[in-house]
Each structure stands twice: as C-alpha cells, then as structure tokens.
Structure 1
C-alpha cells in the first residue's frame, strides 16, 4: 500500500462536521518532577513561563506548571502525595502524555456527539469559574490511558484556566521558533491500529489521510504499519502506529514494552525555519537521531530542487522529502526521558502534506542503531 492522500474521503464538502475543532488547546504530561521538567522545556526547547497550579492556588493534590511557545502549551503535572492516580500513571508509564486537549466552541455538544457514537466518558461536561470568567470542559478516553479533553474557553479571559495563576519568572530563555503542534503519533498494540482508526472515524468524524503498510515502513530487521487520521479542517492529525512482524523487535514494540501500554510516541512541532530552530536546540543540549552522511549524496536526486542549501541540512542531520504538494524538512530527537518512549519531531512544511515516507528507511535504521545500544533490538 503506497502513501496516498485520500482526497475523496477527506473531503467534507456538503457534510456537517459534528465535531468542529479549532486546534490543539494544550498537551498535558504527567511527570516525576513538574518543576524540573518545566525548567528543561524552557531551557532546552525555548518555552516560556505561563501559569501555575499547586498548594499556593489551593490545589492540594498535584502541582502543574504551564509553559508556552507561540500556539503550543504544555502542562507538566506531578502529584503532591503518594497513592494518587497521577502517581500511579507515572509509576507504570514513566513521564508521558496523559491529555491531548482540543479547543472547541461547544464542549457539551462535543461530549454528547462523541458519546452517542460510542466514546467512553472521562469527564462529563463541567464548568470551572474564577473572577476571569468560565471554561467548560468535557472529556473522553482514547488509546491506552490517554484522554481527549474538549476545552470551550470563549467566556474566559484569564491567563490559562480557572485554578491557575500567572507564573512569572526572571528566567525565560528566548523562544526558538516552535509554532504549533503539527501532529501527534500514537503507538498501539498488535492488531489494534484499525480499531483506533475506526474510533477516530466513527466517534470523532476524522478521515483517513494516509496509509503505510509494513512494506513502506520496514528495514532488514523491523517493520511497523501506520494510518494517519485527520479532522475536518486538517488542524488535528493523529497517525496511529502498530507493530508488524520482523526479524527483531521494532521501535513500536520497544515503546509498548517500556511504556507498559499504548500511548503517545511523539509530538511533532512546526517551525518556519528548521535550520535556526535545530541549531538552537543543539546548542541547548537536545540530542537528535542521525542518519549516515551518505543519505545526502543522493537526496536531491530524489526530492529535486529545494530553497535551502544542502550543507547546513547535512551538518544538522535534517531529512528532506517531497510529495505532490511540495516538500518538507524534518528531524527527530532522541527520547526525552529515561525510558525509550516519547520524543519530539521538528518539522518545516514547504507545501508538503505528507509525513516523510522517503525518509522512513534511513530514519528507522537510525532508531535501530539506538535500540542496539540499549540492548533492545
């Protein structure tokens, strides 16, 4: 099965979008030490201090720091006591994404529309208020222990959400050009990809944008399969990966083993200048996967003319791919926590709508070299 944009299925012309989504509202990670994690994302990734919730705001159960860069908001949350659901999640999975929050105009309608189509409830419609207004929240479960929270904030004028106060710090390293969440990839178990593809199609009204099988995404040793689901306006894209049979343990299998279940594999964040962004990340200590330098000997034969000089891309290890709409530039960090689980992708789109199929083999061989070093291949 080849990488194709499913334009017929993806068309919503003449159809009502029962779950209109304006964009990604925030991503919440449960982490062992929220204060230190916030410092890391500020120092290494250029996020800025935004909001805080904890003992000082009357929150007795957990502490959360919110950091922001352009349209990207991350919540880093840690428990304040033992025996909490947040702590149990960290104990099982390590640091990882718990909430993918979606910005909607009507959280109650979003909840009831998805529930009547088969969603499992995480949070019934709830109103939270403070002196800055009110926010309506609701939520449903998705793969593993990951959840989607629907956020309706048209009647709120505060810094973030009720229960948070402005977090002001003297230490705010400069942003590095990250703009918004381009897509988020979920890893699911054997034979589960189509179940979750159907969930996003039937429960949330998404359409299948792309599909890759084990012939597309394979090396000599490992393979995986993936399908990309997109909402009506294309602002939310969720590739879903599952393992495929190979000679050795694939990256998805390794993730599932160490995360101890299904979850978010990586967050892809967009930039308008990947050379400047990746240079800044490297200078701040972020580690990236590297492909062999011979990749660059023939890459322009494959992708054609690009605006950028090849040499800086080669020096930084940035990959290039092209589809019918244009080309893209991308690079992947190594995992950002002790377990070989979640990582980040930095992506710059120059018209391309795809996900870098031409780079899969080189990329996954680079991942396999890391797996071999960890003894998990």
Structure 2
C-alpha cells in the first residue's frame, strides 16, 4: 500500500497551482477539466498532488467548500491485495463503489465524512514510481496525520488495522497547562506507509479547534521527506512560506541533555537560525552513526487554522517520531491558538 496521489479542493486551482510552483517548488504536470470542475496535477519527487476547483455551482468542489475550508478530500493508494480488501469491506458491511477515470481496477470508499480513499490495484513488486528532482529536495511523503473527534481514535485505528493491515506503533499522550491530545501511529508492514491519528483530550484542544474550523475530521498535515532540511527550509522561507516558530528555551534544553547531541557548533547554529526541531536516536551498533530526526512545520496554508505541511529529514535512517518534537509541535500550534483567542479570532 503506497500513496499515489493526494487531492485538495481549493477555491481557485490556477492560483494554488502557482503557489505550489513558486513557493514549494512543485512542477506542473497536466490539467483536466469538465463542465463543472477544473484540476491541476503537480509533482515533486514521488509526490503527486491534484488541485481541484469549481467552474460551476453544481461541482462537488463548490458544494464541499460551502461547509468546509479548502483541504484534503481524497487519498489515492496503490494496493497489491485489492480482492482481500474487498472481502474485508464486505464482511464489515462497508459501502464502496467502482472507481471511474483511472486506467486500473479500483474502488473508492469514504472512511469518514468528507474524506474518501481511492484504492487502485497494482501488482508490481515495490510499486515503483517515476521520480523527478526539484531544487527544494522535497521527494516523498513521509507520513500523514488525521484528526478525529473525541471517542473516534480507537474505532478509526481498528478500522485501518483490520482493513488495510496497518500495524499500531507509537502512542503519544501530550498534555500542557492548556490542553492535550491522544495519538496513535500506524505503519504498513511492507511499504512503511505511516499514518498518525489524533483525538482531542479537552474542548479547548488545538485538535478540537481544527475539527471546529474544518467542520469534520480530516487530514491535519502531510509530512514531506526532504534530502537536506536546512536547504529546503531556507529555499521555502525565501519563497514566502511561513513556518511555526520555536522558542530559544527549546534549544537550550537540547544542549543540556546527557548524552549530548552529536552536533557541531555550526550545526546547532543552523538549526537555531532556521528553527528546526531535532531528536537524537543513539546508534544501535558501534558501526552505525547516531540517527537524527529533523522536522519543521509551516503555518496553516489556507488561512484557517487547519491544514499545514511538515518538512522532515531522517538522518542515518532515524525511525518513528520523537516525543520531544511531537510536544514542541503541539506547543507551537497552541501558541498560535492562544494568540488567535487573544485577538478575538476564535
């Protein structure tokens, strides 16, 4: 199971095509249009995005945007076991329909209200894709994050485990003086596809704020794998992409840890300058270098406090997610949330 494409519903696909080209370094591939909807396809490395907007009030995009802000509406996956998935869906009495507009056998299902998933059959080993290189080094999707309402985490995790064979991995409980969340990370055993699912622990949680603004459960952010996070962050920043800020105390705390992080003074200076989060994973064997998980997060891209991107670099095959970075992200979003409340925007 591997991601083929991610579709967004936006107000103006042409304008957002230019945004992704000019700010994120994506390359335009093609355009499709019918009587109701226009779509632009862009790519970066193995990543393919579809940006759709309405050209007529009867378009499904127009209807969607009446009740929800722009965001992710459809995840397209290649799967090698479509018949097995069909059997499981039938056993669970889950409705699905045959997919249209693709050259492969497939189905489309709605996991939660407003978020569909398209499964296309692909029997090739490895599910390889053609990859194009870009100046940003953004080359693959590392993971997706889905926010669900209180009480829905367990059943949604169960659904993905039973239908798609995703395996539960790390669990997180993040709690600050203001609010918190529960999170479960799921991983596909063959392809390494990672999906994190969050639910709020209080009415004022940032996860609940997302749900309130989004009008439903949905994809909170997509993590983009990069070759060199400092270069990518610098390029995107100079192009006008805005990132969440990190307080100085975060780096002071990291520098004071024992054992110390394996970073030179110049490397620390780079991370602090561009406000990149870092987690250290000690080497398991003497012949291996220490692994570093490096992450940074954009501000919400559509105006509403909903969808954003993450840049992530995994040095020396860093695995999973560090709780320190997870907590730092939560606090960064919480600071923005509190600022909106102080400014009377919520």
TM-score normalized by the length of structure 1: 0.80
Deviation at 1:368, TM superposition (A): 1.8
- Kept in 2: contact 1:135–1:154 (CA 8 A): no
Distance 2:218 2:108 in 1: 17
Alignment CA distance shift 1:373-1:358 (3 Å)? same
In structure 1, the gaps of 5 or more residues are 1-20, 129-133, 161-172
Look up the match of 2:188. Answer: 231
Higher relative contact order (CA 8 A, sep 6+): 1
Change (3 A) 1:305 1:180: same
1:271-291 Cα offsets, whole Å, 9 max, x none, are 110010000010000000111
TM-score scaled to structure 2, two decimals?
0.87
**Alpha-carbon contact 2:182-2:200 (below 8 Å) kept:** yes
2 CA distance for matches of 1:75 and 1:176?
19
> 5 Å matches for 1:96-175?
96-105=71-80, 107=82, 109=83, 111-118=85-92, 120-124=94-98, 126=100, 128=102, 134-152=103-121, 175=135
Deviations 1:41-94 (A, max 9, x none): 11110000111101xxxx222100000001000000012211332222122111
Matched position secondary structure for 1:309 = helix
Query: Structure 1 CA distance, aligned partners of 2:282 and 2:95?
Result: 40
* 1:372 matched to 2:330: no
Q: Distance in 1 between matches of 2:337 and 2:156?
A: 27
Task: Say whether 1:360 aligns with 2:331.
Answer: no
Quick one: structure 1 residues 255 and 49, their matched pair in 2 at CA, closer, same or farther if it must change by over 3 Å? same
Would the aligned equivalents of 2:146 and 2:221 in 1 still touch at CA under 8 Å?
Answer: yes
After superposition, what is the alpha-carbon deviation per residue over 1:221-251, rounded to whole angstroms, capped at 9, x for unaligned?
1100000111122431110000003xx7111
- Kindly indicate whether residue 34 of structure 2 is the aligned counterpart of residue 74 of structure 1: no
Report if aligned partners of 2:45, 2:134 keep a CA contact under 8 Å in 1: no
Question: Could you list the runs of 5+ residues in structure 2 that have no partner in the other structure?
Answer: 284-290
Distance in 2 between residues matched to 1:119 and 1:299, nearest whole Å: 50
Q: Per-residue displacement from partner, 1:132-186 (whole Å, max 9, x unpaired)?
A: xx3323122223321111124679xxxx9xxxxxxxxxxxx96311011100000
CA separation in 2, counterparts of 1:237 and 1:174? 24
2:240 paired residue number = 285
Pairwise CA RMSD: 2.3
Q: 1:210 aligns with which of 170, 177, 181?
A: 170
Residue in 1 aligned with 2:27? Answer: 48
